[in-house]
Structure 1
Amino acid sequence: MSNKVLKLSNDKMLFGVCGGIADYFGWSAGAVRLLYVLVSVLSAAFPGILVYLVLWLLMPGAD
């Protein structure tokens, strides 16, 4: 069983949400940011911003 925890990253542009997701899955932070922007734009931006803010509030801080 893995002890990985989804948490904010020190590799951040705003709050570290995309960097934290990238760290958790072992992906490139740039790829996650690009995917986030594409999904946000295609969903009329507001839901993407809301999800980002909720994740920022719920995810624990980086070590």
Structure 2
Amino acid sequence: MAGAPGGLVRPRNGKIIAGVCAGLARRWGVRPSLVRLLAVLSCLLPGPQFVAYVVLWVVMPKER
């Protein structure tokens, strides 16, 4: 993993769209499918979830 141990990065493998959910799952120590499910369910609520995902996509570095 690139950067500091436990850093927030988008993985090269195991990603579906941009790797944001997989990177968050790795950082929190949970399964990526759980984070993906929570992300999809959160889209049912009002708020800037899609914007937050796009911002994380841009801000999170790729794994080297």
**TM > 0.5:** yes
- Where relative contact order (Cα < 8 A, 6+ residues apart) is larger, the structure is 2
Structure 1: give runs of 5+ residues left out of the alignment: none
Partner of 2:54: 53
| Percent of aligned pairs sharing the same letter | 38
The RMSD of aligned alpha carbons is 1.5
Q: Tell me, what secondary structure is at the counterpart of 1:41?
A: coil
Superposed structure 1 runs of 4+ greater than 4 Å apart: none
CA separation in 1, counterparts of 2:18 and 2:32?
Answer: 13
Taking structure 2 as the reference length, the TM-score comes to 0.83
Aligned residues between the structures? 60
* Deviation by residue 1:16-57 (Cα, 9 ceiling, x = unmatched): 00000001111000000000111121126xx11100000000
Partner of 1:34: 37
